[in-house]
Amino acid sequence: MSSFLDRLKKKDVVAANSDDKKQEQMAAQNKPAADGGVPAEQLKVDIYQTPTAILIYSQIAGCSINDFGVTIEGDGDVVVIKGQRARPNGDYFSPAEGSAEAKNHEAKEHLLEECSWGKFYRQIILPTEVDAAKTEAKMHEGILMLRLPLKEAHDKGVRINVVQVQ
């Protein structure tokens, strides 16, 4: 079995000891472009490993389950999360008809815009293969939670029964 670093190099991913500029360039190349050529936001994640599974948590507030997708690719060692956050298009604060505020309601001025709207994407290369068929994904209050059970190692060996031949 190859080392994690060897597998990363094979997938053209920058090693952890490379300089920051090179990492930023690779990250930009790996992001798919959103409409208009603007790169997708890189989704932030927390990743933990237990003896039996890899756990991934990500905040994806503003998305319904139909707004994003999770896939396991490669040799069962790459997780891809991609989707889109849409700004609400309804006007939930309509002023009373005929009021002074109603006359100026259409003339909105952006004072501050910090929310991330649009496409997001994250590709995570795992340190080991996972069992895609047993993967669990849950979403609760804007938090995506993935449980990726580790594939049983084949290096432990398989017992072969030997039969006496006469």
Query: Residues of the chain with pLDDT > 70: what percent?
Result: 59
Provide CB contacts within 8 A for 51, sequence distance 6+: none
For the cut 50, the answer to whether the pLDDT of residue 160 exceeds it is yes
For every residue of 102-145, which 3-state class applies, written as one string? HHHCCCCCCCCCCCCCEEEEEEEECCCCECHHHCEEEEECCEEE
Predicted confidence at residue 14, as pLDDT, reads 41
Domain boundaries, given as residue ranges, for the chain:
40-87+114-153
**CATH ID of 40-87+114-153, from 3.30.70.20, 2.60.120.620, 2.60.40.790, 3.40.718.10:** 2.60.40.790
Chain centroid to CA 53: how far? 17
Predicted confidence at residue 34, as pLDDT, reads 45
Query: pTM of the prediction?
Result: 0.65
Predicted confidence at residue 30, as pLDDT, reads 46
pLDDT in tens, 9-49: 555 544 344 444 444 444 444 455 545 556 788 999 999 99
